[in-house]
C-alpha cells in the first residue's frame, strides 16, 4: 500500500514538472487554508498569428488566454503572479493578453524579472500591482511612421500630439522624476 502511495506522489511530481517544462505554469500552495497562487510565465517572444521557428523561445497566446479564463473560473485559485521576461512580439496578441489580465476579478501581480519590451510593457502594467527587479528593463519603441511623410503643418502637429501623449504617460508613472 505504501508503494502505491509513493508511485502516485512520484506521478504527481512528474506531472507538475511536465507542466512547468511545457508551459512555465504552476500553482503554489502554501498549506491548508492559505492562498493558492497561480504562477504564469510570459517568457521569450509573444507568439500570435505567425508561428516562429522551433528554436525561438515563445509564449503562445492561444495557450495563455484559455488558461486565464480557466483560472478566473477556478474557485481554488486565489490570485495570479505573472512572471515576465519578454522582448515583445505580436502586438495584437499581446494586447489581448493584457486586456484579459486587466479584466480578471482575482488579484493579479506582475513581476518583470528580466526584460519587458515592446508589447510586454502594457502586459506588465495590466495587472493590479506591477513590480520590476532592480536589474530589469522595460522599453517602449520610439514613435515611428511608415510610408511617405508630407512636411506640412498637420504632420508637425500630429508628431507634437504623439510626443505630448508619451510625456503625459511617462509622468503618470510613480517615481518618474528619479529616472528622468
Rounded distance between C-alpha atoms, residue 175 and residue 114, angstroms = 20
From the list 118, 130, 172, 179, the catalytic residue is 118
Q: Residue 143 corresponds to which cell in the numbers above?
A: 514613435
Rounded distance between C-alpha atoms, residue 52 and residue 178, angstroms = 38
Respond yes or no: is residue 141 known to be catalytic. yes
Break the chain down into helix, strand, coil percent, rounded to 5: 40, 25, 30
Respond yes or no: is residue 23 known to be catalytic. no
CB 24 within 8 A of CB 41: yes
Known catalytic residues are 118, 141
Amino acid at each position: 500500500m505504501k508503494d502505491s502511495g509513493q508511485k502516485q506522489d512520484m506521478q504527481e511530481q512528474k506531472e507538475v514538472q511536465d507542466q512547468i517544462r511545457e508551459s512555465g505554469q504552476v500553482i503554489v500552495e502554501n498549506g491548508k487554508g492559505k492562498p493558492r497562487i497561480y504562477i504564469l510565465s510570459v517568457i521569450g517572444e509573444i507568439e500570435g498569428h505567425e508561428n516562429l521557428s522551433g528554436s525561438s523561445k515563445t509564449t503562445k497566446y492561444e495557450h495563455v488566454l484559455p488558461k486565464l479564463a480557466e483560472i478566473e473560473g477556478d474557485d481554488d485559485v486565489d490570485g495570479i503572479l505573472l512572471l515576465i521576461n519578454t522582448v515583445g512580439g505580436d502586438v495584437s496578441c499581446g494586447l489581448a493578453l493584457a486586456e484579459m489580465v486587466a479584466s480578471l476579478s482575482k488579484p493579479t501581480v506582475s513581476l518583470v524579472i528580466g526584460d519587458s519590451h515592446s508589447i510586454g510593457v502594457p502586459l506588465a502594467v495590466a495587472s493590479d500591482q506591477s513590480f520590476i527587479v532592480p536589474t530589469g528593463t522595460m522599453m517602449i519603441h520610439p514613435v515611428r511612421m511608415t510610408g511617405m511623410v508630407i512636411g506640412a503643418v498637420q504632420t508637425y502637429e500630429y508628431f507634437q500630439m504623439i510626443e505630448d501623449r508619451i510625456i503625459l504617460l511617462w509622468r503618470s508613472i510613480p517615481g518618474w522624476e528619479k529616472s528622468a
